[in-house]
Amino acid sequence: MAFDYKKEYKTLYQPATKPTVEVVPPMNFVAVRGKGNPNEENGEYKRGIELLYGIAYTIKMSKKGDRCIEGYFDYVVPPLEGLWWTEDGESVYADKSKLCFISMIRLPDFVEREDFDWAFAEATRKKKADFSQVEFFTYNEGSCVQCMHIGSYDDEPAAIAAMQAYAEAQGYAVDLNNNRRHHEIYLSDPRKTAPDKCKTIIRLPIIKNA
């Protein structure tokens, strides 16, 4: 049976709708950086997503011998994730045209940098596309407050407020900076799911108050 992170690590991929504090271990990702409104047709975000999946599925379908089942990496490609911020420090909900992002798809722990490098070259050769924006990215998230948001992306501020209040009650402060970002994990495909049914994991980095 294919390894599925959503099923094996439920505290990280199937959290409650009420906030909780978690410690997230370092993870490796296929990632792409960009700017602009994610809803913009043919914008950087949507173009970047296509590149991410091109590399992610090339890795999944690659033959890698001893570390694989039947010659292939046997796992379910994890959900799309995103780190979000603005250069001027405004809320990520204020003006979508000012958004900066790192879009990413988690790599299983047994996928190494050499596998990414191989997939990068293979996808470039087979698809005859420019994958130069795609990178091997390690993110060490650490302590965070998280919850499952069910509903429209535009309704997330209420969930954020509840998460901040919960973190403060537990003796933490939100710790957004150049290394720790507003983090979302998308469990629903918005093209196929009604806005009020979309499931999004939201994480905010936190630090213990002195």
CATH number (domain holding residue 177): 3.20.80.10
3-state SS, one letter per residue, for the chain: CCECHHHHCHHHHCCCCCCEEEEECCEEEEEEEEECCCCCCCCHHHHHHHHHHHHHHHHHCCECHHHCECCECCECCCCEEEEEEECCCCCCCCCHHHEEEEEEEECCCCCCHHHHHHHHHHHHHHHCCCCCCEEEEEECCEEEEEEEEECCHHHHHHHHHHHHHHHHHCCEEECCCCCCCEEEEECCCCCCCCHHHCEEEEEEEEEECC
- From 139, 160, 175, the end of a domain falls on 139
Could you list the residue range(s) of the whole structural domain that residue 200 is in? 9-26+140-210
Query: For the whole model, what pTM was predicted?
Result: 0.93
Kindly state whether residues 41 and 104 are assigned to the same domain: yes
For the stretch 62-116, pLDDT in tens is 765 444 444 456 789 999 999 999 999 889 998 999 999 999 999 988 888 998 9
So what's the pLDDT on residue 64?
56
